[in-house]
Structure 1
Amino acid sequence: MPTIKNFEDLEIWQKSRILCQNIDRHCLKNNKFQKHDQNQIDRSSASASVMDNIAEGFEREGNREFANFLTMSKGSAGEVRSQLIRAFDRNYLDESTFLMLKDEAINMSKKLSGFINYLKNSEDKGNKFNRNKENE
């Protein structure tokens, strides 16, 4: 497996970006949403939390820290799902849009869980620890 040098190369970050774009398109630019609801879903959506925590965790260059940030991302993906349910219940979203966005959020959670497990079980501790070994 090639070494990933930038968070932008991570599939989970790319998928979170797509989720962010879809939240923007279907929720933030949807006139049915009240301003408060738009702000809430924007803050927890991929634009503000899922996507950013993946990036921040990656940049810290330690697998343990990265896993912690991915856990925060996973929590935010659950929050997005809850807010989508509320938006659907308030008739802000039609059923097909709701199901599409909800499925994206569920898949994001699953991918994050898989990556968290990978990092926790990996013998490699991350780049910042590998550099220290090289300097010895």
Structure 2
Amino acid sequence: MIETLKIKLLDGIHAENEWECALEIPINCSLEELHEAILFAVGFDNDHMYEFCIANSFYSRNALRISCDEDEVIQETVETIFSKLAGKKLFYMFDYGDSWLFQINKSRKKRFTNKPSTAYPRVALESGIKPEQYPDWDE
């Protein structure tokens, strides 16, 4: 089954514009695969640490955090992580220096069976301007 997630950029050192997307992803994808799909959607290189956070606010003291170096990042799936929210929100932090903070929500769209001719995960809809990961970096 495919879940449609709304990924919204909340903050980051270079976050000058609003950006969000609808990401269609299999419910059995791990958090690590979700991390890779978000980076692909926003166009970032996978060169920094990250974590997922379940809380009312990313900075909450009572947050449940799953860091990129913990086993849970490959054990937890999209389906299991959303079953743990219970009134909380899911956040994703990438690159602790630039602090790219995203909020992840399920969309109102119902789960659906994957289409054989479609590769998942995929960006189904996008709005706003993608942030530039390294705007001051000369290649």
Could you say which TM-score interval applies, normalised by the shorter chain? Answer: under 0.3
Name which structure has the greater RCO, CA cutoff 8 Å, separation 6+. Answer: 2
Q: Which has the higher helix share?
A: 1
Which structure: larger Rg? 1
Q: Which has the higher strand share?
A: 2
Q: TM-score, normalised by structure 1?
A: 0.28
Q: TM-score, normalised by structure 2?
A: 0.27
